[in-house]
C-alpha cells in the first residue's frame, strides 16, 4: 500500500496543483518509482487518496492498482485499515508516498518473518541516540518518539517503509497513526518490531529543497533531461535541469525543474516552474 492522502503542506505551492506523490522525479511521478520497487514483491498496489483525488485518475503504474479516496483523512493506520478487504491475508508492505529509496523489499519481508515481529521497519543507520528510532544489538526497535523499551545499540531514521504482519493489519484502528497509535503501544506491551537496515541513498521529497535534491540525484551526471514531448527554443541554454512532458522553454533554464505542461518565457535559475506558471525558488 502506498500512503498518498496527505496535503503536502511543506511543498506548497507545488502541491496546490498536484498531490505530492504525483510530482515528477525525473521522467515520471514519484509514486511510479515507488510502484516499481513494489512490483518486485507485490501483485497489486492500493493507494489511499484525499487531496485532489481526481489527479490520480488515469494514473499508469507498473502493476495493477486501486485508488481509494478517503472523504476524511483517516491517518496512516486508518488508511491501511480502510483498505483491509483489498490487501489479502498475507504481509502488507506500507510505503509513504513521499519516500524514494532502492529498498530490498524481499529482505524486509524476510526480516519480519524471521524475527517473528509484528512489523519490520526500513531504517537508515545513525549513531547511537540519533535519529527517529533506536535499535537494539539484536536488531529490534527499542526507541521511537517518546517510548524506550530496551537498550539501544544504534540509532537510525525510519524511512516510512514497513512490512506489517497479518496480525498487525487485523489490529489496526479505523482512524489513527501507525507509529503513535499502533507501534508505540505495541512496543510497551512487549511486541517486537524489527529493523531492516538501509545503507544506500534515499530521499524524502517533503520540502521544495529535498524535492529538488531528489531530482538532482535522478539527473546524476547528465547535463540535462528534456522529455521527448517538451519543446526548447533554439539557442536556449538548458543546463543542470529537468524539463517535463509538454513543457515549453523559450529562455535559459539552469539548475531547475520545469514541470509537465509549464511554459518558461524568462530566464530561470534554481527554481521549480509549475504548469500554472508559478516559479518556486529552490533555496
For the domain that residue 52 is a member of, what is the CATH number? 3.90.550.10
Is 238 domain-assigned? yes
Angle made by CA atoms 240, 102, 29, in degrees to the nearest 5? 55
Instruction: Give me the number of domains the chain comprises.
Output: 2
Examine the domain organization and report whether 150 and 238 are in the same domain.
no
**Parallel, antiparallel, or unpaired: how do β-strands 2-3 and 92-96 relate?**
parallel
Q: Which of 138, 171, 204 is the last residue of a domain?
A: 204
Is 167 domain-assigned? yes
The answer to whether 159 and 120 are in contact (CB under 8 A) is no
Is 189 domain-assigned? yes
Q: What pLDDT, in 10s, does the model give residues 188-241?
A: 999 999 999 999 999 999 999 999 999 999 999 999 999 999 999 999 999 999
Is 45 domain-assigned? yes
First to last CA, the chain: 33
Examine the domain organization and report whether 154 and 250 are in the same domain.
no
Q: What pLDDT, in 10s, does the model give residues 56-112?
A: 999 999 999 999 999 999 999 999 999 999 998 899 999 999 999 999 999 999 999
Examine the domain organization and report whether 256 and 170 are in the same domain.
no
Residue 146: predicted pLDDT: 85
Examine the domain organization and report whether 197 and 226 are in the same domain.
no
Examine the domain organization and report whether 20 and 140 are in the same domain.
yes
Three-class HEC string of the chain:
CEECCCCCHHHCCHHHHCCHHHCEECCEEHHHHHHHHHCCCCCCEEEEECCCHHHHCCCCCCCCEEEEECCCCCHHHHHHHHCHHHHCCCCEEEEECCEECCCCHHHHHHHHHHCCCCEEEEEEEECCCCECEEECCCCEEEEECCEECCCCCEEEEEEEEEEECHHHHHCCCCCCCHHHHHHHHHHHCCCCEEEEECCCCCEECCCHHHHHHHHHHHHCCCCEEECCCCEECCCCCEECEEECCCCEECCCEECCEECCCCEECCCEECEEECCCCCEEECC
Q: Which three cell numbers stand for residue 281?
A: 525558488
pLDDT confidence band for 155 (50 / 70 / 90): very high
Q: Which three cell numbers stand for residue 59?
A: 494514473
Task: Please tell me the distance from the alpha carbon of residue 173 to that of residue 127, in angstroms, as a whole number.
Answer: 33
The answer to whether 79 and 164 are in contact (CB under 8 A) is no
pLDDT over threshold 90, residue 34: yes
Is 215 domain-assigned? no
Examine the domain organization and report whether 173 and 227 are in the same domain.
no
Q: Which of 204, 237, 269 is the last residue of a domain?
A: 204
The answer to whether 206 and 20 are in contact (CB under 8 A) is yes
Examine the domain organization and report whether 104 and 234 are in the same domain.
no
Is 153 domain-assigned? yes
Mean pLDDT for 257-264 is: 97
Q: Which three cell numbers stand for residue 60?
A: 499508469
Examine the domain organization and report whether 241 and 273 are in the same domain.
yes
Domain residues for 24?
Answer: 2-204
Mean pLDDT for 43-48 is: 94
Mean pLDDT for 267-283 is: 96
Examine the domain organization and report whether 225 and 200 are in the same domain.
no
Mean pLDDT for 261-266 is: 97
Instruction: Return all residues near 209 (Cβ < 8 A) that are at least 6 apart.
Output: 282, 283
Examine the domain organization and report whether 82 and 166 are in the same domain.
yes
Say which residue the cell 525558488 belongs to. 281
**In this structure, is the dihedral angle defined by the CA atoms of residues 56, 83, 99 and 221, taken in order, positive or negative?**
negative
Q: Which of 177, 204, 231 is the last residue of a domain?
A: 204
Task: Please tell me the distance from the alpha carbon of residue 257 to that of residue 118, in angstroms, as a whole number.
Answer: 41
Examine the domain organization and report whether 266 and 167 are in the same domain.
no
Examine the domain organization and report whether 199 and 249 are in the same domain.
no
**Parallel, antiparallel, or unpaired: how do β-strands 2-3 and 99-100 relate?**
unpaired
Is 272 domain-assigned? yes
Region for 76 from its dihedrals, namely left if φ exceeds 0, alpha if ψ lies in -120 to 50, beta otherwise: alpha
Residue 69: predicted pLDDT: 96
Amino acid at each position: 500500500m502506498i500512503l498518498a492522502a496527505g496535503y503536502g503542506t511543506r511543498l506548497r505551492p507545488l502541491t496546490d496543483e498536484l498531490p505530492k506523490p504525483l510530482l515528477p522525479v525525473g521522467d515520471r511521478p514519484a509514486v511510479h518509482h515507488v510502484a516499481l520497487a513494489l512490483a518486485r514483491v507485490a501483485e497489486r498496489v492500493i493507494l489511499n487518496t484525499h487531496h485532489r483525488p481526481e489527479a490520480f485518475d488515469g494514473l499508469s503504474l507498473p502493476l495493477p492498482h486501486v485508488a481509494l479516496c478517503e472523504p476524511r483523512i483517516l491517518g496512516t493506520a486508518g488508511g491501511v485499515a480502510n483498505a483491509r478487504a483489498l490487501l489479502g491475508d498475507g504481509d502488507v508492505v506500507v510505503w509513504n508516498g513521499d519516500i524514494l529509496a532502492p529498498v530490498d523489499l524481499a529482505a524486509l519481508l524476510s526480516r519480519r518473518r524471521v524475527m517473528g515481529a509484528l512489523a519490520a521497519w526500513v531504517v537508515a543507520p545513525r549513531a547511537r541516540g540519533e535519529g527517529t528510532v533506536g535499535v537494539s544489538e539484536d536488531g529490534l526497535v527499542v526507541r521511537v518518539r517518546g517510548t524506550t523499551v530496551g537498550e539501544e545499540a544504534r540509532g537510525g531514521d525510519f524511512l516510512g517503509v514497513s512490512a506489517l504482519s497479518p496480525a498487525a493489519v487485523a489490529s489496526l484502528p479505523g482512524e489513527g497513526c501507525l507509529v503513535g497509535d499502533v507501534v508505540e503501544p505495541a512496543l510497551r506491551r512487549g511486541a517486537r518490531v524489527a529493523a531492516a537496515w538501509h545503507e544506500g541513498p534515499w530521499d524524502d521529497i517533503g520540502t521544495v529543497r529535498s524535492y529538488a535534491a531528489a531530482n538532482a540525484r535522478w539527473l546524476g551526471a547528465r547535463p540535462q533531461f528534456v522529455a521527448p514531448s517538451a519543446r526548447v527554443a533554439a539557442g536556449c541554454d538548458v543546463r543542470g535541469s529537468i524539463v517535463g512532458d509538454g513543457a515549453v522553454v523559450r529562455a535559459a533554464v539552469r539548475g531547475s525543474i520545469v514541470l509537465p505542461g509549464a511554459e518558461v518565457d524568462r530566464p530561470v535559475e534554481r527554481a521549480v516552474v509549475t504548469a500554472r506558471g508559478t516559479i518556486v525558488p529552490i533555496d
